[in-house]
Structure 1
Amino acid sequence: MTTPLTVLLGNYPHTRPLKDGTVPVEGVDCQYLEASPLPPAFARMVRELTYDICEMPLATYLQAKEAGVPVTLLPVVLIGSTHHRALTRLPEDPELSPRELAGKRVGVRAYGQTTGLWVRGWLQEEYGLKSSDVTWVTTEDVHVAQYVNPPYVERSRTERVVDLLRSHDVSAAVLGPKAVGGQGAGLVPLVADAENAGLAWTERHGTIPANHLLVVRDDVLRDSPDAVLAVYRALKKAIADTADERDGSLAGRAVAAGWSASLAACLEVGGRYALEQELVRTAVDLGAIEKAAAFFDQ
């Protein structure tokens, strides 16, 4: 008898083998649900627990755990990279140093967007610019309904971050990985040597910033632990089997399954950034996350 599970995963080379059955999930009847774009599905997961297993951005996970949303992290990084290229301006505008953003307005999809978390983190770490030094203008609400934005966050009626730039409502904008090559095509990074700046960040911290992880509802893990473990093991195999399809870039190297020093460092730094930025108000309990993750690599 198989256990039915609803699973929400984005479409990546390393998730395709599960969705097309190339890598079977033994003893589990997985219903792979689709959502395009993905962010509304993340909100449904943390607000309504819509899925049994769900891809989830790092910042959303940290906020959800603090809010008491009953989900457990699986030690999987589905996408990640550095984000020094994500902070952009219009090409026709004058050059603008990240340090010069103090007192200015910066667009971001949501204050809880994970790319924004990483960008604000390196802004403070490398340029001394605190989150509260900037007015963050958002086009969407955060996924976790219980969260209240800090007073230096402003909600716009504009639907796209790039349009905030084009209307000169903001001086710079944070764009996620897909948006950089989409609505943000032609925009200029504020960091001139963004690639090397990102490499320096990874060398300093011993990790690559994770954007999307994977969570399971606590009741599903409690009632069907073997089924959840089977999904994790299948995904881990798919990630290993598709290694040749990923290049040696930071984004390619970020994809991984299994608890590691790199994942621990990623969660530690991300959690610290989140606390500094008031994305969470209490310190992240890395020990509890690691203890729960140990189940999957037993």
Structure 2
Amino acid sequence: MSISIALACERYDRTEALRDGRVTPAGVDLTYLPQQVEETFFRMARFREFDAAEMSLSSYVVGLTRDAPFIALPVFPSRMFRHSGIYVSTASGIGEPIALAGRRVGVAEYQLTANVWIRGLLADEYAVPVESVTYVTGGLHAPGRTEKVHLDLPPDVRVEPLGPGRTLAGALATGEIDALYSPRTPGCFARGDRGVRRLFEPARPVEEDYYRRTGIFPIMHVVVLRRDVYERDRWLARSLYDAFEQARTLCVEGIEETAAARYMLPWLHEEVARTRALLGDDYWPYGLEPNRHVLRTFLDYAYAQGLAARRLEPEELFAPETLESPIV
């Protein structure tokens, strides 16, 4: 008899085999609910609507040191270098990272995972302390966005809301804010507004150099189980983890196919080779051990930035069943 599980997750090439049924978790009747990440994160964090869901790593860590409503699997559906997510108003005169100190910087939410990474790398690499910036929160393209989880921030971290009816993209374009940290590209930049530019342009050489020096390919999202679902049937954690791993393996096999182009990228094979030359053959690993350094760095940032109530160890993030070697 199978257990019915509803999983809310964006559509990714590495999870497509779970969505279309080519991979089925053992003992699970899985319903894959493809949704944009913002909707999934809000509904899971605020209302705990789903049995399992993709979740912001930051939101998960914030909750884990407080009421711990979820338990994670070491599955990372989204990873992204974030130097390219720093935008500046040309009117601000910001030409180098150190000039961000003392400025007003827009963030959709202080606790967004991308923003944790950006603040951390700016502090580590460019001597821009987290507390040196005033963070202005609000919606990127629609007004009124607020933090989806409650935060207890240190008194030296200044966070204030954007004015009513305003958007961060609009405020950046007019110079009302000096800069923006954003995982999603602001419309003003996408339209070619000359009053907005990326701080690091081109960003790829900077991000590649960052990886060479640090070994960090930032993790953005994890997959979580609602804790009551996990406690009722703890074997679910391992079953789902193994299924995600199988789906990832199928994706890797597909991306290597050259007989027919599965993806609309004519030089995909060259891009894969370039990526592997820098990041290694298994450049998007699941599991704890190959990601320990990345996770530890993030957890240090989350604690230093006032998001985690204590400094966590990477092992504390995941269901113990997912850290055991499989029985063969």
Is structure 2 residue 95 aligned with structure 1 residue 96? yes
Is structure 2 residue 271 aligned with structure 1 residue 272? no
Q: Shift of residue 60 of structure 1?
A: 0.9
Specify the code of the residue in structure 1 equivalent to 2:60. Answer: Y
The 3 A distance-change label for structure 1 pair 189 and 253 is farther
Match of 1:283 in 2: 311
Is structure 2 residue 185 aligned with structure 1 residue 180? yes
Q: Provide the secondary structure at the position in 1 that maps to 2:106.
A: strand
Q: Provide the secondary structure at the position in 1 that maps to 2:84.
A: coil
CA distance in 2, matches of 1:255, 1:164: 36
Specify the code of the residue in structure 2 equivalent to 1:274. Answer: A
Is structure 2 residue 14 aligned with structure 1 residue 10? no
Is structure 2 residue 256 aligned with structure 1 residue 257? no
TM-score for both structures, normalised by structure 1: 0.88
Match of 1:20 in 2: 20
Match of 1:143 in 2: 148
Q: Shift of residue 92 of structure 1?
A: 7.1
CA distance in 2, matches of 1:103, 1:295: 43
The 3 A distance-change label for structure 1 pair 163 and 285 is same
Match of 1:66 in 2: 65
CA distance in 2, matches of 1:228, 1:71: 12
Match of 2:173 in 1: 166
The 3 A distance-change label for structure 1 pair 189 and 73 is same
Q: Which moved more, 1:213-222 or 1:282-291?
A: 282-291
Specify the code of the residue in structure 2 equivalent to 1:42. Answer: F
TM-score for both structures, normalised by structure 2: 0.80
CA distance in 2, matches of 1:291, 1:12: 23
Q: Provide the secondary structure at the position in 2 that maps to 1:30.
A: strand
Q: Contact conserved, 1:77 with 1:210, CA < 8 A, in 2?
A: yes
Q: Which residue of 204, 210, 234 maps to 2:243? A: 234
Q: Flag structure 1 segments of 5+ consecutive residues without an equivalent.
A: none
Q: How many residues align?
A: 292
Q: Provide the secondary structure at the position in 1 that maps to 2:68.
A: coil
Over the aligned positions, Cα root-mean-square deviation in angstroms equals: 2.5
Q: Provide the secondary structure at the position in 2 that maps to 1:180.
A: coil
Q: Flag structure 2 segments of 5+ consecutive residues without an equivalent.
A: 139-144, 256-267
Q: Provide the secondary structure at the position in 1 that maps to 2:180.
A: strand
The 3 A distance-change label for structure 1 pair 132 and 92 is closer
- Structure showing greater radius of gyration is 2
